[in-house]
Amino acid sequence: MSRCIPGDRPVLVNEAVELTRRLKLSHIRRHPLELVPTTRAQRWDHAELVRVLLAEEAAGRDATNLRTRRARAGFPAGKTLHDWDSTASCIPRPTQDALTSLEWVGRRENLCVCGPSGTGKSHFCEALGQAAVEAGMTVAWFTIEDLGTLVRRHRADDSITRALARLIRTDLIIIDDIGLLPVSPDAAEGFYRLVDAAYERRSLAISSNLHPSGFDTQGDSYRLAQATAGKG
């Protein structure tokens, strides 16, 4: 049986660091040198050392994934539920609690927040999106005109269907400020295509200056009638 003499410790630590590099354990890599004195002073057994190192790797990966999901979401202002004043909103508190639970996202339901400018619609939608990211979900933030840009970008090679298929892999898609400005034909097409592609597959959250009844003047909607009656 081999024995480790004191002079071997730097070599063994360096070998361990090299193994973390090969295995892409970047968060563990920062800690072996720091933990050597601690393991001696506190007389940790091997299992405790392994547990601490793996916990550091897991925590580091979680933090990195959170930053990545937040960056990919494209949030505009960094608004969260921590700076949301629930008492100042006209949304009933039980409704706010139900929405912030995010259970509706798991059920692939949709949300439309309506009201005049300055009433907190965008803030609340972004705060819900931030909470979803923190809960491990993926989120995408768009303005209505961003959808028009998406349509124009993919029109040349007719790849909009594929682009939307990639987009609806996202758990929650937020469309901000419908009705604030006139909607271009490209934006209207993008919105229609997105709603159609996401129907019963993913959750949409929409903020609008218009009531949903003003979204469509083509006649009565069976789905809208179901939703209004609490059946859809």
- Domain end among 51, 71, 91: 71
CATH of the domain at 93: 3.40.50.300
**Domain-located, residue 187:** yes
* Residue-level pLDDT at 39: 73
Residues 53 and 95 in one domain: no
Last residue of a domain, one of 71, 90, 115: 71
**Strand (E) or helix (H) holding 56:** helix 46-73
DSSP one-letter string for 112-164: EEE-STTSSHHHHHHHHHHHHHHTT--EEEEEHHHHHHHHHHHHTTT-HHHHH
Summarised one tens digit per residue, pLDDT across range 182-198 is: 888 999 999 999 999 99
200 pLDDT tier (thresholds 50, 70, 90): very high
Model confidence at 226: pLDDT above 70:
no
pLDDT for residue 231 is more than 70: no
Predicted local confidence at residue 212, as pLDDT? 67
**Each residue's pLDDT tens digit, 4-48:** 444 455 677 677 778 778 878 887 777 666 676 777 777 877 777
- Do 52 and 105 fall within a single domain? no
Instruction: Flag whether pLDDT at 215 surpasses 70.
Output: no
Split at pLDDT 50, 70, 90, the class of 222 is very low
The answer to whether residues 210 and 125 belong to one domain is: yes
pLDDT of residue 219: 40
Number of domains in the chain: 2
Interval 118-142: pLDDT, tens: 889 999 999 999 999 999 999 999 9
Choosing from 71, 93, 116, the residue where a domain stops is 71
- pLDDT for the residue 123: 95
Q: Are residues 116 and 167 in the same domain?
A: yes
Q: Which two tokens stand for residue 44?
A: 């940790």
| Distance (Å) of CA 37 to CA 26, 27, 42, 231 | 21, 19, 9, 63
Residues 44 and 87 in one domain: no
Residues 57-81 have a mean pLDDT of 93
Residue 1 lies in a domain: no
The reply to whether 43 falls in a domain is yes
Tell me, yes or no, whether 80 and 67 share the same domain: no
pLDDT at 100: 97
CA distance 32 to 17: 7
So what's the pLDDT on residue 4?
Answer: 46
Claim to verify: residue 114 and residue 207 sit in the same structural domain: yes
Per-residue pLDDT reduced to its tens digit, 148-186: 999 999 988 889 999 999 999 999 999 998 887 788 899
- 195 shares its domain with 210: yes
Domain match, 33 and 134 both: no
Instruction: Indicate whether 113 and 165 sit together in one domain.
Output: yes
- Are residues 106 and 53 part of one domain? no
Domain that holds residue 52: 6-71
What pTM was estimated for this model as a whole? 0.74
Residues 121 and 215 in one domain: yes
Q: Residue 8 carries which DSSP code?
A: G
